[in-house]
Amino acid sequence: MLNAYLDAFIPAFGLLLLGAWLKRSLLPDDVIWAGIERLIFWVLLPCLLVAAIGGVELGRLPIFGMMVAIWSALCVGTVLSLLLSRAFGQPHPAMTSVLMGGIRFNNLIGFAISGAVFGAPGVALGAIATGMIVPFVQTVTTMAFAMGRPGRLRPFQVLRQVLLNPLIIGCALGFAVAALGGLPHGLAPLARSLGQASVALGLLAVGAALSLGAMRDRVALQLATSALKLVVMPALTLLGCRLLGLDAISTSVAVLFMAMPTAATSYVMARTMGGDAPLMAAITSTEHVLAVVTLPLWLAFLMAG
Q: Mean pLDDT throughout 277-294?
A: 90
The pLDDT of residue 268 is above 80: no
| Residue closest to 115 by CA, chosen among 2, 22, 199 | 199
In whole angstroms, give the CA distance from residue 77 to residue 91: 19
Q: Mean pLDDT throughout 56-61?
A: 81
Q: What is the mean pLDDT of the chain?
A: 88
CB within 8 Å of 275: residues ≥ 6 apart? 93, 94, 96, 97, 100, 145, 269
More confident residue, 298 or 159: 298
% of the chain residues with pLDDT over 90? 45
The pLDDT of residue 212 is above 80: no
Query: CA 148 → CA 40, 50, 91, 162, 255, distances in Å?
Result: 29, 34, 10, 17, 31
Dihedral of CA atoms 145, 150, 153, 156 in degrees, nearest 10, equals -80
Q: Give the right CATH number for 2-304 from 1.10.1750.10, 1.10.357.10, 1.20.1530.20, 3.10.20.440.
A: 1.20.1530.20
Query: What's the pLDDT at 210?
Result: 78
Query: What's the pLDDT at 1?
Result: 55
96-127 confidence digits (pLDDT tens): 999 999 999 988 899 999 999 999 899 889 98
